[in-house]
């Protein structure tokens, strides 16, 4: 995999380094990175040990977590690649749900809680979850990365609801 090495100014070695943003340069060699980062250091007026930063004393370090790799024709960090793969997997799942004639309805879940009917709040209880047409659920999920689509097995769903109805019927008080 073709990679671009990331280098940053070591702000721990810059006077009041906490005041600066992280500057990143992509270069194969340390000296090339130094010359690229020196421009940022000079623009910001950075100093180290109370003297002006120069090509000889600019403190830089490798930032492997910011390295970029060629993925689908563009250079991305590992984090960006991971997010892209998650998005691709979500799109594949939605396509599978669309094509599955056995799935007509779905639950929509956000961070571990189900959408209630008509998207009015959240619940942890399956029997209180809203039931959404699969196309509506997919449309909702496309608008928010936190949403998960769960295909409904109608037999299991109905069994759950019947159990809740039976429980509620046992609580009816007859006056009379």
Q: Report whether 109 contacts 150 (CB < 8 A).
A: yes
- DSSP three-state, residue 44: helix
Tell which phi-psi region holds residue 18, choosing left (phi > 0), alpha (psi between -120 and 50) or beta: alpha
Model confidence, pTM: 0.62
Q: What is the pLDDT of residue 3?
A: 82
Can you give the pLDDT at residue 175? 84
For 26, 120, 163, 167, 170, the CA distances from 174, given in Å and listed in that order, are 77, 32, 21, 15, 11
Q: What is the pLDDT of residue 15?
A: 94
Q: Give the model's pLDDT for residue 2.
A: 66
Q: What is the pLDDT of residue 32?
A: 95
pLDDT in tens, the chain (176 residues): 468 999 999 999 999 999 999 999 999 999 999 999 999 999 999 999 889 999 899 999 999 999 999 988 889 998 999 999 988 999 999 999 999 999 999 999 999 999 999 999 999 999 999 999 999 999 999 888 899 999 999 999 999 999 999 999 999 998 86
């Amino acid at each position: 995999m073709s990679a671009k090495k990331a280098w940053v100014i070591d702000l721990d070695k810059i006077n009041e380094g906490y005041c600066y943003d992280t500057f990143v340069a992509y270069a194969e060699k340390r000296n090339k990175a130094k010359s690229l980062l020196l421009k940022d250091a000079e623009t910001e007026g950075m100093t180290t040990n109370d003297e002006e930063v120069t090509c000889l004393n600019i403190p830089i370090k490798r930032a492997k977590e910011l390295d970029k790799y060629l993925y689908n024709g563009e250079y991305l960090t590992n984090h960006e690649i991971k997010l892209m793969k998650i998005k691709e997997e979500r799109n594949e799942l939605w396509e599978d749900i669309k094509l599955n004639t056995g799935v007509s309805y779905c639950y929509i879940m956000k961070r571990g809680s189900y959408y209630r009917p008509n998207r009015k709040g959240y619940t942890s209880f399956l029997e209180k979850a809203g039931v959404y047409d699969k196309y509506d659920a997919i449309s909702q999920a496309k608008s928010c990365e936190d949403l998960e689509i769960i295909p409904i097995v109608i037999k299991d769903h109905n069994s759950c609801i019947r159990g809740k109805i039976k429980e509620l019927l046992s609580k009816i008080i007859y006056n009379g």
